[in-house]
Structure 1
Amino acid sequence: MTDTAVYAAGAVIWRLVEGKMRVLVVHRTAYADVSLPKGKVDPGETLAETAVREIREETGIRVRLGPAIGISRYHIAGKRQKIVHYWAAQATEDAIRASTFVPNKEIAALEWVTPKKARTHLSYPADIEILDSFLALVDDGVLETFPIVVLRHGKAEARDAWAGPDATRPLTPRGSRQAKALVGPLRAFGVRRIVSSDAVRCVQTVTPLAAALGREVHRTARISQDSWEEGLADVRTVVGKRVRSGKPAVLCSHGPLLGEIMSEIALATATVKGSYLGSSSDLEPAAFSVVHVSAPHPGSGIVAIETHATKA
């Protein structure tokens, strides 16, 4: 991010009504316009966190993010550039019923419309371009997805300075801050299942997330560095189970195993391998890649991959 730009994030929120696609547009009070839900990044937030928070604030609907669908850029007052990142986000019926939205000084009304009507209702060409990117996912039949998040553990104590077994190396103070900072971004993608190498540094990385979700950390030696160094790692079993489950999950492991984890996700989803596997697995401590997999057809290939880093 640059100091001269204003960053924001939002989503095309969608649902199926009697099998027909509907998308949500917001009627903004102050601007007397119609737009997609979005808002500016708060200090310390990631873009993914911003999108989920702003959607909740503007519509009352809690969503989890699906694939990223585009970035709009335009100039605002003072010749500053505004850069808005968008995702697709399904609104479940439970989430819609739980919404406490009432018209307010910011949002006058919410409206569920067909994509065709949305194109005529939206006030700005940039929003229409994002809608068209969303509809490309619809046309490709890959809108319904679930995420498998590949996470590298946070910053740990140096190996050559640690007297005990490598698996017992803990996070540094910075690593602990990174672990806490991961909670918001991972929740934005709806992570529910937490699978971790049994090494202390990995377990500590996902412990704050587990506490926030009220979930347990499923520890396994199959994706630990000790097992990998001994030739005993079993990444395929772990990845295969996650793909079959069709549930949002995070796999927390070590740098040397990340490439193999990504390769196994590609194999399990019948995805053609490419250079993207290397870039999405070359992660700094506490960074993660979100692999979006088709929910109805997980064997049809990876839908999208996006990579994020923590700000701690």
Structure 2
Amino acid sequence: MTLTGPSVVQAAGAVCWRETPSGIELLIVHRGDRADVSIPKGKVDPGETPPQTAVREIAEETGLVVTLGAPLGTTEYTMPGGREKIVHYWSAEVSDAAIAGLTFVANAEVTAVQWLSVTAARAVLSYDLDRDVVDRFSARAAAGTIRTFPIIVLRHGRAVPPASWDGPDATRPLMHRGLEQSRNVAAAIAAWGPAKLISSPAARCLATIEPVATLTDLPVKQSAGISQDAFEDGVARVHKMVRKRLAAGIAVVLCSHGPVIRDIIDEAAALTNTPLDAPLRRAGMLSTSEFTVLHVSSEHPDAPLVAVETHGPAFL
């Protein structure tokens, strides 16, 4: 059971990995303040989401700027003071360019970083829970699904209700709360390093994806094929959109509307031969400013999805 509630300490990190001629290596950190060896991770700051935290903590502890891969689940335990803690993990492949630009400086918290083989890293880690996470990573590597690309499906933020708007539905703007939601989730979405942003032309969708465009310095391509109007008129082009994104094999954000998003999830399941089970159906039932990340195998984009996860703003 996943721990929740304000008394639960949330943290996040990632298994940072690289491929070398001798095999996969993992990055571990030596913590001087705790005299232990662990996977890079840290506590979620107020107002942060776990994906955002994972990227920030890795940069702070190792000097590496990474983008997240697929999730590796969580670990949960009771801290010495009695509070419960949950740590969210992802995989994160580290590029040669990132390693070349490494700016690690030893400090009181982290005295050293080290690249080790999977076996060696597992042996030196101080905690069984960290070894469990490495084992999850190893299982995925053995299955040939460690390299993935994300299709990030984002629902627009809270908008002015239709009954309160006199103009066309597509012109309804975000409420102030919707603007706050959109700004809050932008850094989480950017954690997966999107290379392309696509949005319904509706004003509420364009306003929702705009903070992501600002963070990533990417243009937003408008697509009427994933608009509410097209859906209601029966002319949506969801199948074509999803098929094209799977073929492209790059990280993409699709910002759309509730009923269209359910169709996007259905099409992604069909085109990747993924059973459309109850959890995947729930991943398509997003609240305002929530987003689902579909992790697709880079080598076999028509194979079942590697993982699916859903996130939202750090506040209700």
2:112 maps to 1:115? no
What secondary structure, in the 3-state scheme, does the structure 2 residue paired with 1:256 have?
A: helix
What secondary structure, in the 3-state scheme, does the structure 2 residue paired with 1:77 have?
A: coil
Conserved 8 A contact 2:10-2:44: yes
2:69 maps to 1:37? no
Conserved 8 A contact 2:17-2:24: yes
Residue by residue over 1:181-240, the C-alpha shift from the partner in whole angstroms, topping out at 9 and shown as x without a partner, is 121110112122110001111111101111221111100110001111111111111111
2:60 maps to 1:54? no
Conserved 8 A contact 1:259-1:277: no
RMSD of the TM alignment (CA)? Answer: 1.2
Name the residue aligned to 1:274: 277
> How many Å separate the matches in 1 of 2:185 and 2:8?
24
What secondary structure, in the 3-state scheme, does the structure 2 residue paired with 1:299 have?
A: coil
2:161 maps to 1:158? yes
2:242 maps to 1:239? yes
Name the residue aligned to 1:294: 297
Residue by residue over 1:138-170, the C-alpha shift from the partner in whole angstroms, topping out at 9 and shown as x without a partner, is 111100000001111000111121111111111
Name the residue aligned to 2:98: 95
Structure 2 unaligned residues grouped into runs of 5+: none
* Superposition deviation, residue 19 in structure 1: 5.6
Match of residue 262, structure 1, among 249, 254, 265: 265
* Superposition deviation, residue 274 in structure 1: 2.1
Amino acid at match of 2:96: E
2:15 maps to 1:12? yes
Residue identity (%): 45
Match of residue 193, structure 1, among 188, 193, 196: 196
Conserved 8 A contact 1:294-1:302: yes
> How many Å separate the matches in 1 of 2:306 and 2:81?
38
Conserved 8 A contact 2:49-2:185: no
Name the residue aligned to 1:230: 233
Match of residue 204, structure 1, among 198, 203, 207: 207
> How many Å separate the matches in 2 of 1:71 and 1:153?
28
* Superposition deviation, residue 171 in structure 1: 0.5
> How many Å separate the matches in 1 of 2:109 and 2:41?
12
2:283 maps to 1:283? no
- Change in CA separation of 1:103 and 1:42 when aligned onto 2, cut-off 3 Å: same
Name the residue aligned to 1:168: 171
Name the residue aligned to 1:146: 149
Give the alignment's TM-score, normalised by structure 2: 0.96
2:41 maps to 1:27? no
> How many Å separate the matches in 2 of 1:86 and 1:94?
23
Conserved 8 A contact 1:35-1:124: yes
What secondary structure, in the 3-state scheme, does the structure 2 residue paired with 1:236 have?
A: helix
